[in-house]
Structure 1
Amino acid sequence: MVKLLTGICTLLLLNGCASHSQTLYSELGGKQKVEEIVNNFVTEIEYDPVILPYFEGSDIDRFRAKLEEQICMVSGGGCSYTGDTMEQVHAGMNITETHFNHTVDLLINAMDKSGVPHPLQNRLLAELAKMRGQMLYR
């Protein structure tokens, strides 16, 4: 009986560890889902009169590619971000807290449209939020 209980406990422990070893990137759905989120985000921006002016003159294809890299990197997908620093990208934009928060709302809308569960959204947003100070008032 003790061996059976020990075996069951070991299996439960290993199963618990296995579920935590999965990266946020894979939990999100990997490359395909990240591309979907980014595409939805670009569409959200395209139809938003408040945030769209920040992207005037931007190379949207480059933005798309670099955001996909960045999300992959911060979510443990094994990618490297090859773009400019957040300070460089946002220099001269003078992004306010209000505009930053509004952009986060657009990203949440994009993730909702992609069917990303809220707990995963929160985890991704927590990773991306680490760059907040590099974007505001530049």
Structure 2
Amino acid sequence: MIRCKRVYDPLQASDGQRVLVDRLWPRNRRKDQLQALWLPEVAPSTALRQAFHAGEVDFAGFAERYRQELTARPEHWWKLLGMAGQGDVTLLYAGKDTEHNNAMVLAQWLEDELERQGPGSSPVCYADEFKS
């Protein structure tokens, strides 16, 4: 199963392999706190990320362009696909928006790729569990 979770949410045993999929390291988090592999190369390009955050691109446009970037760079996400095929993976992101972020797009991308190869699972975002 592929999950998406904010880096600020608590670590759980059910997270499986934790992977930070942001290009920038999150504020106020030490590497030992995160307990995750960092793959900045799988994140959207700096130009796309900045355009999305500036409001120049809506989420649908961002997701489409990010998928195009992923298509062009399979060597960047291939490791993640292998990890997801072997067990639980939690994609970590720092953004506040739990529904419109690169981790959700990447999770769906990986699920689609796994489905092409055989049975997969559905991406799940557990951010709502941690809201007070």
TM range (shorter): 0.3 to 0.5
Bigger share in helix: 1
RCO higher in structure (CA 8 A, sep ≥6): 2
Bigger share in strand: 2
Structure number with greater Rg is 1
TM-score (norm 1): 0.32
TM-score (norm 2): 0.33
